[in-house]
Structure 1
Amino acid sequence: MFSESKFTVIVGAGPTGLTLARQLQRHGVPFRIVEKASALFDGSRGKGLQPRTLEVLDDLGVLPRFLEHGGEYPPMLVHRPDGETMTFRMDEHHEPTPSVPHPNSLMVPQWRTGQILAEGVPVEFGVELESLTQDDRGVHLTLGTGERVTARYVVGADGGRSAVRRALGVGFEGETREGEKVRLADVELEGLDREHWHVWPGADQAVRLGLCPLAGTGQFQLHSQILDRPLEELVPGIAPGVTVKNVSWTSVWRPNIRMASRFRVGNVFLAGDAAHVHTPAGGQGLNTGIQDAYNLGWKLATGDDALLDTYEAERLPVAAAVLGISTKLYQKMADRSHDGMRRDDPVLKQLSLSYRGGPLASEHRPEPGALQAGDRAPDAPLNDGRRVFDLLRGAHATLLTVNWTAAAPDLGVPVHAVDEAAEIYDVRGPTLLLVRPDNYLGCVTSSVEDVTAYLKVLAG
């Protein structure tokens, strides 16, 4: 028999699943998170956190831990075949601005990201999903432990080989390039400085060896297109004087470029790599998964079917666009383009990601400014020493008022006058800006009635 319950089951305890668990925790939603592995992932694989993801982590209250253990990407030092070297940056250092407090990517090895996100999250390790069905009573799961449970919702955050996606029969369209394999490893070295990301290209510009110092650790991430030599021989053979002292993780990566045809089937949802897998170019995959969870978590908390439909409506187009960006960047690298390693496209920061025109973007101004409903709510300094992000932090929607001279409306959500933010928010007249729980502008208007109606949608 299946035991009956109304909790949510998260399958997979990678960054996506753990972010979702944290979202559900702060919304007071009961959940279980199961992971078939016996422990958290222990490799560095996805090591770049984009500026928008840093804002998500700030909202979740864990950013200080990431800043403590992470660091900026170092300049690349290319050791050319002719014996000369050249130095360049993938992207220049950017200074914080009033609207963007975290303008640079932060390097944090994936194992550390998982470790921090898992703090206080009751992950059930060694628990595999064996089968999944659903009917009008709920979603029925059989676990590898023999336990059978019924959940209200299930979220598959279990990676590119997702058991949840397979159980749903959802297509995973795209390609796997078996002929373009790359070796990855986390290694401890002697004889190499940690001030640079070292790269040794061949005469054809293919990367024979890359060694990137992993911020907050004593390790380097190794990547190489040479697969048939022991690392202890490969490294000194290409980089004389450099010795491999220890290898803690190793893997062979192949470009997977795929996306699920649906992100929701009944009361089962797909997120992260279970919904879309990317090349590592541009550091988009892990970040997109975290933001899937950030979008889905507060909607699960409402339990509203129509609102939950907006998860796929909002996130599937985003995933498709990001997949296109990362694939284009990877192809430039594969084609040995002269700027194949540049990562200065502002789109990669994911700050310009918008849900404009989507089902939850309610723009009522006849002449909206540069910032519109569906866009990210930017930061801004306030006269009392706080910032807009301080007001938004938490599980709630927030109403911001600009140039509002009437009494502040009492609508059951925090209300803050932020006239100082008028320029950053490009607001000219009296304006109400209802910010969603995931800190995107939901409703922008000069009418209290518009906000009241929008809040009813958010409440489900």
Structure 2
Amino acid sequence: MKTSGDVTIVGAGPVGLLLATELALQGVRTTVLERLTTQADTIKAQMINGRTYQMLAMRGFGPAIDAASEAEAAGLSWRPTGATGHFAGLFKLDGLPLVMLSQQNLERILEARALELGVEIRRGVDVTDLDFGTEYVVGCDGGRSSVRKLAGFDFPGTGPSLTGYQAVVDLEGDLPFGWQRTPTGVHAFGPLKGRIMLMEFDGPPATREVNREILEASLRRVSGRDVRITAVHTATVWTDNTRQATTYRKGNVLLAGDAAHVHSPFGGQGLNLGLQDALNLGWKLATGDSCLIDTYTTERHPVAERVLRNTMAQVALTRPDPQSRELYSLFSDLLDLQEVKSRISAMIQGTDIRYDTGCDHPLTGTFVPGLDLSDGKGTSVVLDGHEATVRPDGYISRIGK
């Protein structure tokens, strides 16, 4: 199968669509191929973190995100107070506020912009080889990435140890809002109306099927409550399979998002990680500079590696055995210390990321919020009395003397 264009992106999820807009802003002809014929309506990520919002706002997406977020927030049934995120269900983090935004609404916003910029999106396409006739191919096609497998990327890591469910349901019976740890697992109710999350630490799922009977049985086991699910509107099964490609580039094939790294959804970090992959890669790929493109792996691989580590730690903290429960209690006390709280918050939100740009100034490699980079180009600003060169992704590459 041949496509006309300079870059072929496989996967029309948020990461693939954002990468397509990034390339289009740089004048690169881009084709996006997607296996699904229509957008998936399965429940997925429901929020983006504050740093991701700042990065999307610099591209001009702020007003559309604000409007969608306001509409979604009206449907919340519960919201934790006094915190902007959680670690293993401990709602004690601070820092930048989370932004309510479903993955489906984000995809619609990004797709509209991609089409406006002339990106070709072809749905109902199964990718069986990588001979697209384009200069580069980027796999943004999820954890079971066909591109990753076809190109032969190594994908080491640890296998699944738990079964998790996320669903929007109609319930009969009393179920408390928020996260609840029990002797048999974890269950959460809210903040979306009817949204439940379940975890059982009994090994990987026996099947990817999710139906009312499976969800109700799991909810009863974990909660120990006489509750009944009368209807399932959307549901998915997940686990803590944790893997990362050893490199994000093999020749003219690259990976981004879940195609490059998978982990449990603790802290809602996966979507943010993938979107920031796209913002890092797009402008570099557009230059065609092989050495610059290689810095995509150099900069982003350690960021994802840290996410994999902290999500594995969160799984360990939530296990129901006596030792893990005591560890959870100790970690809760530690999060009351501001230094610990700030460090964990920055790690989860990615606000402490600093890329090595080869310059010694402490501000180089850090992100500058509030800039208008909607044209996809870099800029110069004055910081600390010195002129700073800002890359197209909002990070400082150099500060003059």
Corresponding residue number in structure 2 for 1:445? 400
Q: Residue 174 of structure 1 is aligned with which of 136, 142, 157? A: 157
Amino acid of the residue matched to residue 75 of structure 1? P
Corresponding residue SS for 1:154: strand
TM-score (ref. length: structure 1): 0.70
Corresponding residue SS for 1:9: strand
**What is the count of residue pairs matched by the alignment?**
358
Q: 1:153 to 1:324 in 2, by over 3 A?
A: same
1:266 counterpart = 2:251: yes
Q: 1:399 to 1:281 in 2, by over 3 A?
A: same
Cα RMSD, aligned residues only: 3.0
Calculate percent identity across the aligned residue pairs.
Answer: 32
1:363 counterpart = 2:359: yes
On the 8 A contact 1:187/1:222 being kept in 2, the answer is: no
TM-score (ref. length: structure 2): 0.79
Distance 1:221 1:284 in 2: 19
Corresponding residue number in structure 1 for 2:389? 434
In structure 1, runs of 5+ residues without a counterpart are 77-87, 95-102, 133-139, 141-148, 380-388, 402-424, 447-460
Q: 1:300 to 1:116 in 2, by over 3 A?
A: same
Distance 1:235 1:205 in 2: 10
Structure 1 segment 14-413 matched on structure 2, within 5 A: 14-70=13-69, 71=73, 74-75=79-80, 90-91=91-92, 103-121=96-114, 122-132=120-130, 140=131, 149-177=132-160, 179-189=161-171, 197-202=177-182, 204=183, 206-207=185-186, 209-214=187-192, 218-225=193-200, 229-231=213-215, 238=223, 244-334=229-319, 335-336=324-325, 337-338=328-329, 345-356=345-356, 361-363=357-359, 368=361, 371-377=362-368, 379=369, 389-401=370-382
Corresponding residue SS for 1:111: helix
Distance 1:289 1:191 in 2: 38
On the 8 A contact 1:105/1:349 being kept in 2, the answer is: no
In structure 2, runs of 5+ residues without a counterpart are 82-88, 115-119, 206-210, 336-340
Q: 1:391 to 1:68 in 2, by over 3 A?
A: closer
Amino acid of the residue matched to residue 297 of structure 1? G
On the 8 A contact 2:185/2:199 being kept in 1, the answer is: no
On the 8 A contact 1:35/1:127 being kept in 2, the answer is: yes
Amino acid of the residue matched to residue 91 of structure 1? K
Distance 2:239 2:400 in 1: 48
Q: 1:109 to 1:244 in 2, by over 3 A?
A: farther
Q: Which has the larger radius of gyration?
A: 1
Q: Decide which moves more: 163-172 or 237-246.
A: 237-246
Give the structure with the higher percent strand.
1
Q: 1:251 to 1:161 in 2, by over 3 A?
A: same
On the 8 A contact 1:18/1:118 being kept in 2, the answer is: yes
Q: 1:318 to 1:245 in 2, by over 3 A?
A: same
Corresponding residue SS for 1:130: coil
1:284, distance to aligned residue in structure 2 (A): 1.5
Residues 354-413 of structure 1, C-alpha deviations (whole Å, 9 max, x = no match): 102xxxx1426xxx3xx4211112x4xxxxxxxxx2444431110113xxxxxxxxxxxx
Distance 2:188 2:66 in 1: 25
Q: 1:174 to 1:230 in 2, by over 3 A?
A: closer
Corresponding residue SS for 2:244: strand
1:308, distance to aligned residue in structure 2 (A): 1.1
Residues 229-265 of structure 1, C-alpha deviations (whole Å, 9 max, x = no match): 4445766895878664531222221211100011001
On the 8 A contact 1:51/1:350 being kept in 2, the answer is: no
On the 8 A contact 1:352/1:376 being kept in 2, the answer is: no
Q: 1:294 to 1:104 in 2, by over 3 A?
A: same
Distance 1:260 1:348 in 2: 21
Amino acid of the residue matched to residue 48 of structure 2? L
Corresponding residue SS for 1:161: coil
Q: Decide which moves more: 103-112 or 238-247.
A: 238-247
Amino acid of the residue matched to residue 399 of structure 1? S
On the 8 A contact 2:238/2:264 being kept in 1, the answer is: no
